[in-house]
Amino acid sequence: MKRTLFGLSALIFTFSTLPLVAQNAPAPIFTLQDERLGSPISVKQTGITLQNLLRQISPPSVILRAGRSCAEQKIQINLKNRSRRVVMEALAELIKGRWQTEGKDGYLLVQDEDAVLKRNLWWRYYEENQQESKNVLVQALLRRMHSRPVPAGFLEGLNETPPDIQRNNDKRLGFFNLLPMELQKSIAETILDSAFVFGGNMIYSGQEAVIGRPFSELPEKLQKYIQDELAHDKAEHEQTKQDADKPDTRVADSTVLFRNEGVNIRVSLVFADGQQYGTAIMISAAPPKNVSFLGLDHRGVPAEVKRLGIKAPSSLKRLADFQKTTVWNNPLTSPDSYQFPPLDRTEVLNWLAEKSKIEFIADDYNTDSRPMTQEDREQTPSAPPAKELNLLSTTHDVSWKQRTDQLYLVRNNRWYRDDFLQAPDNLIQEGIEAASPLSKMKNGVLPDLAAVKSLTEWQAKAWTTLSYWQIAYGICPAVQVSKTGQREFPLFAVGEQILKHPKLLQFYASLSSPQKELLWKEGLRLSNLSDAQRLAVAPLLVQLPSPSPNAPPRLVLGTEQLVFSRSKPGSLNLTYELKLKFAP
């Protein structure tokens, strides 16, 4: 399937102009007459997929299944002695779905069409908003590269930049003025995707989002500018004048890298011996006002649309309309005190079930939260269940209802957003198994290559299977409950490594098994790559040291010591970084 800007399938964008589902529209109740569904069951599960839950509660000789649109929906359930029929009806009401018969002995739970369309529409509008913002920023960067220095005295009396600094700024701007238009356009359009995924915050600043050109292919004036920059730097740092006057011969065979960080474009060099040199050449372009990359939390969007008035983009207005919807109407209750992130919703619901003797079915999503302390668990509810759930509606953006059979339903109001942030449970389990051999890595020691290969294989599968969003919000925060009951995040560091090396993993996934073996061992010749594979690896080659001129160039994938890795409880302590290089 074709990947969009953030990896979501283009198939979700089939429908362009459909109205929102009516706010708080009641879900239909379904009657299942099969006598085999009347037997009682007791279930207590957290984070189980809908498909696995249905498999677990299926009576003998009956097969219960979930359709593709909801099979991976994770469920939290806590109930006793309820008939299977009641549980099935409640699940359909929770996800806004319906049951269909499959032959004589099967039932299939499918999500209603309007629910599926609502989810697809939200993501369409959201990515349209992100693309619009990106286009504006690209144009701002191009205008900056095409602009001319401000004439002396033009800003007289307006806190002008000191003359020496202004001269340097003008020279740097002149450098970008001289770039070929084709190269200017490529640089402007190559923006770190993480800027969009995290609402403008450069969290995953890997080294792959660059445009590279051989130094020898740049216009002579640009070559001279870079040489002068190197000479000036040497004059400031060399101990003797004799050393400072020596020309740096390495620059002739270097590669010039242009790194677009969203508002800044920086220039660096990679010499033939692999050393990198960060120049002082850069420009900045402030994007126009009222243009920003939205994160995924849209609680402030309706207020922003109101502030902008008629200037609010249509895509932002549509997102505000979604944000105003809820699954059911619940009065919001202001908490006495509020901490961010909020308490883990699954723990709060289990606590409420234990203390207030309620039974419930809820959806379950990976969200930023903090665990309940022992002191929290020992407290008794200060209000009836309805008021406690109203408080939960405020702090966690959920809706709830009590059915006539006294069973409570709790639904995430932003289910249409979060459904596409979750990663399939079986893929998460595969990742945990692949990472397991590396769980005892020690700092300062590179791991066994066989274990690295196994994990890299899974990381490549995850990158080519999932969207950027699912990796950032489904893999990284994937929760596993330890034997002691603690919530752990086993794939946090593994997911972050994927986001740092998307192009490398895309290239790796394109290789056959024999090609991968060569890449890990004696080396994979560039001449043995297909056209598509050469295109995939091209952005990585511009940062590598030049290959030996005495033999055909061969690529080798290995590891090097990792200087720093972020961590969370239960996260794999990665001690290595993937490193692609030319074989000696």
pLDDT digits (tens, 9 = 90+) for 93-122: 999 999 999 988 999 999 999 999 999 999
Pairing of β 106-111 and β 398-402: unpaired
Q: Is the pLDDT of residue 241 over 50?
A: no
Q: Residue 93's pLDDT is what?
A: 98
Pairing of β 63-66 and β 398-402: unpaired
Of residues 478 and 54, the one with the higher pLDDT is 54
Q: Residue 378's pLDDT is what?
A: 93
Percent of all residues in the chain with a pLDDT value above 90, rounded to a whole number? 45
Closest by alpha carbon to 42, among 97, 85, 79, 83?
A: 79
- Give the H or E element holding residue 360: strand 360-363
Tokens 């069973």 belong to residue: 407
* pLDDT band of 1, cuts 50, 70, 90: very low
CA 332 to chain centre: 30
Q: What are phi and psi of 281, to 5 degrees?
A: -80, 115
Of residues 283 and 223, the one with the higher pLDDT is 223
The domains of the chain are located at 31-111+326-414, 118-284, 423-582
Q: Tell me the one-letter amino acid at 215.
A: F
pTM check: above 0.75? yes
Return d(Cα 449, Cα 451) in angstroms, integer. 5
Pairing of β 63-66 and β 480-481: unpaired
Closest by alpha carbon to 413, among 398, 396, 400, 402?
A: 398
- Contact between residue 212 and residue 540 where contact means Cβ atoms under 8 Å apart: no
Q: Is the pLDDT of residue 201 over 50?
A: no
Q: What are phi and psi of 363, to 5 degrees?
A: -80, 170
Q: For residue 432, give Cα distances in angstroms to 82, 343, 426, 435, 558.
A: 34, 25, 10, 5, 22
- Give the H or E element holding residue 260: strand 255-260
- For all residues of the chain together, what is the average pLDDT? 83
Pairing of β 106-111 and β 408-412: unpaired
Return d(Cα 177, Cα 142) in angstroms, integer. 10
Of residues 474 and 151, the one with the higher pLDDT is 474
Mean pLDDT within 429-449: 84
Q: Residue 517's pLDDT is what?
A: 95
Mean pLDDT within 434-438: 91
- Contact between residue 403 and residue 409 where contact means Cβ atoms under 8 Å apart: yes
